[in-house]
Structure 1
Amino acid sequence: MIEVHGLTKRYGEVLAVDDLTFAVRPGEVTGFLGPNGAGKSTTLRMILGLDAATSGAATVGGRPYSAHPAPLKAIGALLDAGAVLPGRTAYHHLLALAAGNGIPRGRVASVLTEVGLESVARRRTGTFSLGMRQRLGIAAALLGDPPALVFDEPLNGLDPEGIVWIRGLMRRMAAEGRAVLMSSHLMSEMELTADHLIVIGRGRLIADTPMETFIDAHSSREVLVRGPQVASLRRILSPAAEVRADRVDSLVVTGMDAAAIGAMAAAAGVELHELTPRQPSLEQAFMDLTRDALEYHAGNTTTNAANATNSAQETSR
């Protein structure tokens, strides 16, 4: 299990992570979500002992990462797929990691096969594509057969086959009883992969809940309405519901169910060709919940420029 207790990180006057407490339990894929600048990467780095916490603690299997004599056997992680020596082959990169953690040489070949890189094992990593480097990073995370795994944006650079593969890998790792923590901005994949969600914004915990509960609690029910008289229908529905155009002949209605929309259309003599409830999505729920926690808002050039300047100034301090 990965446990975070009151984790806080300050960079000068900037509070990057603010009193975070959560747990990543065995047997689940836990999605770690938040807008850009929310503190996700900083939190992951503190879990792995790469950044020192200002206060609070993070433990893996009951003790800090740095206290494990063979860290790769306690937790496997992929934070930066580019963190390899370009002149070293994939095989020798993994062999060096294995030697430093008391892992048998035979495990290197096993994980290369697991991630589909056995045919390029003797190639120098500097010739690898981003997707191949991602696979190599995942192989390194699996090398010690650890009970806990951490992945930061593991889908970067992967083709569709690779995305399906890693989705299956995450699910299988959890089914084997491992604790899996995965950060990604790809909401559709997170929705298909994760069982549980940790959501943060501006360094603070916003949600810690099962996936289905999160979606149900933080998204609006919508109904797609299509027909030749949508302009008339919009005037009828607008006082009672939120209505927006979808295409020329269709509307999306929020705040009213399909039965009520159909009844109002029938009473007004408005012809309908389609009346379809839409299933709420993780993307919609996430956007609704984190709207006030965004550091950067598209569409406001002045605000974005000011935010960028402030961030640059803080970074240089």
Structure 2
Amino acid sequence: MGRVIEIDELTKRYGDTTAVDGLSFTVRPGRVTGFLGPNGAGKTTTLRILLGLVAPTGGSATVDGAPFGEHPRGLRHVGALLDAGDVHGGRTARAHLSALARTNGIPRRRADEVLAEVGLAEAAGKRVGGYSLGMRQRLGIATALLGEPPVLLFDEPLNGLDPEGVLWVRGLFRRLADEGRTVFVSSHLMSEMENTADDLVVIGRGRLIAAEGVVAFAARGARLSVTVRTPDAAGLTAALTAEGAAVRPVQDGALSVTGLPAARIGELACRGGVPLHELSPRTASLEEAFMELTADSVEYTAKETP
């Protein structure tokens, strides 16, 4: 069912500002692919070009080998949530989806089906202007699902959702990918991408930083460390630093060790007669890797207060 998204040397300039700069990557079906980058990195511009809402300065953005505009009845081909607030507030959710269904050759029953799927069945007859942000997000997701498309794009889909809603969206993305659909999710929530995505596309200042699996990205983005607990912190620190490791104290009296694997730390402790209460290898979190690899691409940074 799924189709490939292909971004090839994509460039977009607004006057003297380059929003997207020679960007190339591929998003494949059957996977949840997270689209990450600091504010101003070019994520939304890339998605808008992909949907034919913005013309590129150069390069191409295609779905299944063709620009979005060349596919008739677009909602059957690509479903998207870009701005949950972009709905006429005077319409009911049912009327909004029914109108989209008619113009895309979709059976009207789908409006009620997707409203039930996203948890808005009881609010289907209410005007959207009275919806909360979380309800608008659910309506935006319902809109994306309306045509049962093989490709789905979501820009910050978790905004305004409560914890139950976040869990529901996480399960929804997994199910859609398992059905063979192509699921492309732009988000600034690193923890959610760590729990949801299979692959990542990371950009900064409009350029590609990484396109790989979540585990591979986290592993190369920051040094691995080992958490150690011992009643003889001074003795162990001396033994480890003599071997070239970096040792620093962390919370609850533990030590964080980098530069040596856990097995070697255990050997040195045994040789020196140092008892160990904990020896836990720790991989970098996605957020740590993201912060390290995008540090040079952050457009706006807060200054520390004196």
TM-score between the two structures when normalised by the length of structure 2:
0.91
State how far apart, in whole Å, the 2-side matches of 1:179 and 1:271 are: 51
Q: Which of 191, 194, 198 in structure 1 is aligned with 2:197?
A: 194
Q: Which of 110, 115, 118 in structure 2 is aligned with 1:115?
A: 118
Q: What is the match of residue 287 of structure 1?
A: 291
| Cα deviation 1:28-48 (Å, max 9, x = unaligned) | 111111122211111111111
Q: Which of 140, 163, 166 in structure 1 is aligned with 2:166?
A: 163
State how far apart, in whole Å, the 2-side matches of 1:106 and 1:274 are: 58
Q: What is the match of residue 263 of structure 1?
A: 267
State how far apart, in whole Å, the 2-side matches of 1:115 and 1:280 are: 34
Q: What is the match of residue 277 of structure 1?
A: 281
State how far apart, in whole Å, the 1-side matches of 2:300 and 2:263 are: 39
Q: Following TM superposition, by how much is the alpha carbon of 1:171 offset from its aligned partner in structure 2, in angstroms?
A: 1.2
Q: What is the match of residue 56 of structure 1?
A: 59
State how far apart, in whole Å, the 2-side matches of 1:134 and 1:177 are: 24
Superposed counterparts of 1:1-40, under 5 Å: 1-40=4-43
Q: Is the 8 A contact 2:221 2:284 kept in 1?
A: no
2:107 is the counterpart of 1:104? yes
Point out where structure 2 has 5 or more consecutive residues left out of the alignment.
none
| Cα deviation 1:55-94 (Å, max 9, x = unaligned) | 1111122221122221111101001111111221111111
SS at match of 2:250: strand
Give the share of equivalent positions with the same residue, in percent: 61
State how far apart, in whole Å, the 2-side matches of 1:133 and 1:275 are: 47
Q: Which amino acid aligns with 1:237?
A: L
C-alpha RMSD of matched pairs (Å): 2.0
SS at match of 2:257: strand
Q: Following TM superposition, by how much is the alpha carbon of 1:25 offset from its aligned partner in structure 2, in angstroms?
A: 1.4
| Cα deviation 1:250-270 (Å, max 9, x = unaligned) | 121122122222333444554
Q: Following TM superposition, by how much is the alpha carbon of 1:271 offset from its aligned partner in structure 2, in angstroms?
A: 4.2
Q: What is the match of residue 132 of structure 2?
A: 129
Q: Following TM superposition, by how much is the alpha carbon of 1:273 offset from its aligned partner in structure 2, in angstroms?
A: 2.2
Q: Is the 8 A contact 1:188 1:283 kept in 2?
A: yes
Point out where structure 1 has 5 or more consecutive residues left out of the alignment.
303-317
State how far apart, in whole Å, the 1-side matches of 2:124 and 2:276 are: 60
Q: Following TM superposition, by how much is the alpha carbon of 1:208 offset from its aligned partner in structure 2, in angstroms?
A: 1.5
Give the 3 Å change call, closer, same or farther, for CA 267–297 of structure 1 in structure 2. farther
Give the 3 Å change call, closer, same or farther, for CA 296–251 of structure 1 in structure 2. farther
Q: Is the 8 A contact 1:32 1:182 kept in 2?
A: yes
Q: Which amino acid aligns with 2:13?
A: R
State how far apart, in whole Å, the 2-side matches of 1:124 and 1:82 are: 13
2:275 is the counterpart of 1:250? no
Q: Which of 211, 229, 235 in structure 2 is aligned with 1:208?
A: 211
Q: Which amino acid aligns with 1:285?
A: A
Q: What is the match of residue 147 of structure 1?
A: 150
Q: What is the match of residue 233 of structure 2?
A: 230
| Cα deviation 1:190-212 (Å, max 9, x = unaligned) | 12221221111111111122223
Q: Which amino acid aligns with 1:208?
A: A
TM-score between the two structures when normalised by the length of structure 1:
0.88
State how far apart, in whole Å, the 1-side matches of 2:192 and 2:32 are: 12
State how far apart, in whole Å, the 1-side matches of 2:274 and 2:302 are: 37
2:221 is the counterpart of 1:218? yes
